[in-house]
Amino acid sequence: MRIDVVSIFPSYFDGLTLSLMGKARDSGILDLHVHDLRDWTHDRHRTVDDTPYGGGAGMVMKPEPWGLALDQLAGSSVSETRPTIIFPSPAGEVFTQATARDLATREHLIFGCGRYEGIDERVFEYAASVGEVRLISLGDYVLNGGEVAVMAMTEAIGRLIPGVVGNPDSLVEESHEDGLLEYPSYTKPSVWRDREVPPILLSGNHGTIAKWRHEQQIQRTRDRRPDLLD
Ligand code: ADE
């Protein structure tokens, strides 16, 4: 999979050289490129924002650098298929594990990180002429820009690409994969600070252990996220 990220703070993404995402990049499974939006400006100050038409607080990201970035990154020189172009936004659809699964099947993702009061609306219209546009929110709260949301989304998507997570079994039994939260985990020692590991886990009976874990998943989901059971 190819991922292009456009941001005015490219160094936010230095963390994607670490751990499993770093390994996926080194091995070529994930072809990830981070770009500075200012590289598509042509004035001395590398300006990416301006005051909003109609007045109001804050600044709006200018369309011209975004247009040039999309022309370059969505062009056929980068991929043969139309890319999926994602703009993180608190006004978008909410990102879930199902969104991650869907996006993990795409060949080419482009993330455009907005800052300030947002991006000139015409950029989204233009992007829809060169790719499939998705506005996606990390949740019902407001961040200072799209960078942190893109970090979260690329990790959630990247780990679903075959080969990124070493043991694919670990993808199956985790929170949200079957609509339930994950069961509790324990390791050695069997007694720690007077707290015992549930004896059933030491029984060696795989059937009863699986049943107990499933019950724990339901109990936790009921307690912490009853909305998931509706
Ligand atoms: N940018 C600002 N807030 C955001 C959010 N909640 N999700 C995605 N992008 C954002």
pLDDT in tens, 44-78: 999 999 999 999 999 999 999 999 999 999 987 77
Rounded to the nearest 5 degrees, what angle is found at the Cα of 59, between the Cα atoms of 54 and 63?
85
Cβ(119)–Cβ(66) below 8 Å? yes
> For a substitution probing ligand 1, which of 137, 148, 153, 154 has the most ligand atoms within 8 Å of its CB?
137
Determine the atom of ligand 1 nearest the C-alpha atom of 144. 2
Note the pLDDT tens digit of each residue in 122-141: 999 999 999 999 999 999 99
Per the document, the length of the chain is: 230
Note the pLDDT tens digit of each residue in 157-198: 999 999 888 888 878 778 888 899 999 999 999 999 999 999
> How much is the mean pLDDT over the chain?
95
Residue ranges lining ligand 1, Cβ < 6 Å: 88-90, 137-139, 141-143, 145-146, 149
Q: What is the mean pLDDT of residues 144-156?
A: 97
Using CB atoms within 10 A of its CB, is residue 118 exposed (0-12), middle (13-18) or buried (19+)? Answer: buried
Cβ(114)–Cβ(62) below 8 Å? no
At 205 the pLDDT is 98
Note the pLDDT tens digit of each residue in 7-55: 999 999 998 888 889 998 899 999 999 999 999 999 999 999 999 999 9
User: Would you say residue 79 has pLDDT above 80?
Assistant: no
Q: Where are the alpha helices (DSSP H) in 147-187?
A: 147-158, 169-172
Phi/psi for 135 (5° steps) reads -100, 120
Give the position of tokens 């339901």.
218
Identify which of 125, 31, 145 has the alpha carbon closest to the alpha carbon of residue 85. 125
Q: Which amino acid is at 171?
A: L
Ligand 1 centroid–CA 143 distance in Å is 5
Q: Which amino acid is at 203?
A: S
